[in-house]
Structure 1
Amino acid sequence: MSIDKSDFNGIYEELIELLGLEVTIKIHEYFKGQQVNFPIKLHSKAYVMKELQGKSVGDSKELAKKLGYTENWIRKLLKKIERGNDNEGDSRKFQSKSN
């Protein structure tokens, strides 16, 4: 007897279409009975910050598109990183002068 995706309940039918039967069964076995919510944003803030290291505000449009965030938010993070790097440089200068 052949199994058709229409033999499965709601979301499982969609998952079979998207991921295949085998993966859908694994997801069911692992998460059955639980409610699962997927965040809108795929990447963590730590990952985004790592990706932004060494980048400039001029790259914000491309980075926003790549990372799935608004250009404004990316620009703010880039400025925060720049300020942090400036502060680190200042503190190193201060430490070397006091020694």
Structure 2
Amino acid sequence: MAASNSSETVRVIVRCRPMNQREMDLKSQTIITMNTQLNHVMLEHIEQTNEPPKQFTFDAVYPVDSITENIYADSVFPLVESVLEGYNATVFAYGQTG
């Protein structure tokens, strides 16, 4: 996405990490469902099954099996190209690690 082709100033991209060993040992449940076609993340309620899942929409979503290189190629590299064309760009990567 070149900066000249977009009027958006901020894009939010989500990657769901796999469960860590501790979570697997505790037999934790996966409560996140991702729809990569619609860029939706659904958060299921474990204890309150009568409530519908909460749904969030992002600019892009990457499920557990995503490869870092593909995420970079799709979402970060176009920003690098924009910077080389003289545009400003920032990548702020933040995540829970378990």
TM-score with structure 2 setting the length:
0.26
In our comparison, the structure showing a higher alpha carbon Rg is 1
Q: Relative contact order: is structure 1 or structure 2 higher (C-alpha 8 Å, sep ≥ 6)? A: 2
Query: Which structure features the higher share of strand residues?
Result: 2
Query: Which structure features the higher share of helix residues?
Result: 1
